[in-house]
Amino acid sequence: MAAVLTRDIVKKFGDVSAVNGISLTVPDGQFMVLLGPSGCGKTTFLRVICGLEKQTSGDLLIGGKVVNDIPPRARGVAMMFQSYGLYPHFSVRRNIAFPLRTQRVPGAEVDKKVAWASQLLGIDHLLDRRPRQLSGGERQRVALARALVREPTALLLDEPLSNLDAKLRASARQEIKQFQQRVGVTTIYVTHDQVEAMGMGDRIAVIDSGRVRQVGSPAEIYEDPADRFVATFVGAPPMNIVARNSGYLGFRPENFLPKDMMEDGSFTEFSFRVDRSEYLGSERIVYGVIAGFDPNQVITAKLPPAHVAEESIRPGEWHPFAVRNSALRHFDKDGQRSSGH
């Protein structure tokens, strides 16, 4: 039984459709990431699942039960907000205990569960502090403990890492993912950061303009994008897409290499004029233009560091580059994946 199942959820604000018909299934225990640019509707969709917004139409099932008209507290969901939403006038202990107290859980039981949740997140030494006395990472852990203490059917997270600085983000990512694997709670995680999505998700739903473009594992999303949007949204630098034969041709920068690096197998050749190159230490990004295509379109190539022909890739000159045919992706004129040539 799926932990969370949505059927054609639409959410309108006045005339504007924030969510335009999303049907999604999240199996028990899965870490599902909702990935998309700002304003694509992913947060609205999460809030609908949570119950903070009511959908305009469509059905929502949590734990097999239809919850369309049921308030958040009866849905068995827990949410972690972007700014954590900790209660500033309560101690950490009272924060974590709050979801239990509202359900009239007896005192002894509350203490047991608070102890369990705080130990799980390593914050049991902070129980008597106030949120304003905690660091960002500590606050996040308190928010997680509070979300977990009720053992919810689904844990919902709304861009929890966006308030952390870059350095902390990587370790926080690690913590959340490890933690979820240990506890096994079904998790729906919203982010605009594709690195986070690729690194943490069991499955990713790429969302744009209120619709799901593709649902799949990170590998499927990356290797087998369903359309141009997914292809260019995931991957940095983004996939190169050029117009060809009333359709589009795409290839990722790391697959666009000097011809003499090609091993056997079929490949397609391009004549590439290098305009600029960036040395990033672990790789070299080269910007340029391909002959026979739009001269204003910048094509990127990502070259490995120890590349022999480094000295020979000089700006202003034309070099033979190639892409292995198996790495080429074809899109039709609407941007959908096709198997064309």
Partner 1 sequence: MPRAISSAIREIPFFGAVAFFVILSAFPFYWMLITSFKTNSDLYSVTHVPFWFSDTPTLEHFRYLFEQTLFARWLLNSFIIGLCVVAITLVTALPAGYSLARMTGGKGEALGIGIFLTYLVPPTLLFLPLSRVVAELGLQNSMWSLVLVYPTFTIPFCTWLSMGFFKALPPEIEEAAIVDGCSLFGAFIKMAIPLSLPGILTVVIFTFTLTLQEFVYALTFVSTSSEKPITLGVATDLIRGDIFYWGEIMAGALLASIPVAIAYNLFLDRFISGITGGAVK
Partner 2 sequence: MVSIAEPIAKPATPLRFILDRREVLGSLFVAPAILYVLLLAGVPFLLALYYSVSAYTIYDPSWRFVGLENFADILENPVFLQTLGNTFLFTFGSQIIGLILGKFGALLLLRPFRGRRIVRALVILPWAVPIALATVAWEWMFDSLYSVINWTLIALGIVTRSEAPNWLGTPHLAMLSVIVVNAWRFFPFAIVIFLAGITAIPQDVLDAATVDGAGFWRRNYQIIVPMILPIVAVGLIFGTVFTFTDLSIVFLLTMGGPVGATSVLGFEGFQVGIGSGDVSHGAATSLFMLPVLLVVVVAMLRFIRRREI
Which stretches of the chain bind partner 2, using CB under 8 A? Answer: 1-2, 5, 7, 25, 27, 59, 61, 64-66, 68-71, 74
Q: How far is the CB of 4 from partner 2 (least distance, A)?
A: 11
Q: Which of residues 191-210 bind partner 1 (CB under 8 A)?
A: none
Q: How far is the CB of 27 from partner 2 (least distance, A)?
A: 7
Minimum CB distance to partner 2 smaller for 17 or for 68: 68
Site mask for partner 1 (CB under 8 A), range 145-184, x = bound: -x---x----------------------------------
One of 70, 81, 330, 336 touching partner 1 (CB under 8 A):
81
49: contact with partner 1 by CB under 8 A: no
**Could you say which DSSP state residue 239 is in?**
P
Q: How far apart are CA 13 and CA 216, in angstroms?
A: 29
Question: Do 158 and 43 meet the contact criterion of CB atoms below 8 Å apart?
Answer: yes
Query: Considering the rule CB under 8 A, would residue 99 count as an interface residue with partner 1?
Result: yes
* Of positions 64, 65, 66, 71, contacts partner 1 by CB under 8 A: 71
Contact 4, 45 (CB under 8 A): no
Question: Residue ranges of the alpha helices (H) in 5-129?
Answer: 42-50, 92-102, 107-120
Partner whose binding site includes residue 1, from partner 2, partner 1, none (CB under 5 to 8 Å by kind): partner 2
One-letter amino acid identity for 333? K
**Cα angle at 18 between 15 and 24, to 5 degrees?**
135
CB of 152 to partner 1, least distance (A): 9
Q: From its phi and psi, is residue 202 left (phi > 0), alpha (psi between -120 and 50) or beta? A: alpha
Give the SS3 label for residue 108: helix
DSSP 238: P
- Choose which of 21, 37, 58, 72 interacts with partner 1 (CB under 8 A): 72
Asked whether the CA dihedral 113, 114, 116, 121 is positive or negative, the reply is positive
Rounded least distance, CB 335 to partner 2, Å: 25
Residue from 87, 269, 309, 320 touching partner 1 (CB under 8 A): that is 87
**78 touches which of partner 2, partner 1, none (CB within 5 to 8 A by kind)?**
partner 1
78 is a site residue for partner 1 (CB under 8 A): yes
Q: How far is the CB of 124 from partner 1 (least distance, A)?
A: 20
Give SS3 for 98: helix
| Selected range binding partner 1 among 24-32, 67-75, 107-115, 288-296, rule: CB under 8 A | 67-75
Smaller CB distance to partner 2: residue 62 or 127?
A: 62
Structure tokens at 248: 């589009």
Long-range contacts of 258-263 (CB under 8 A, 24+ apart): 258/303, 258/307, 258/309, 258/313, 258/319, 258/320, 258/321, 258/322, 259/319, 259/320, 259/321, 259/322, 260/309, 260/320, 261/307, 261/309, 262/322, 262/324
* Residues in touch with partner 1 (CB under 8 A): 14, 50-52, 71-73, 77-79, 81-83, 85-89, 98-99, 101-103, 146, 150
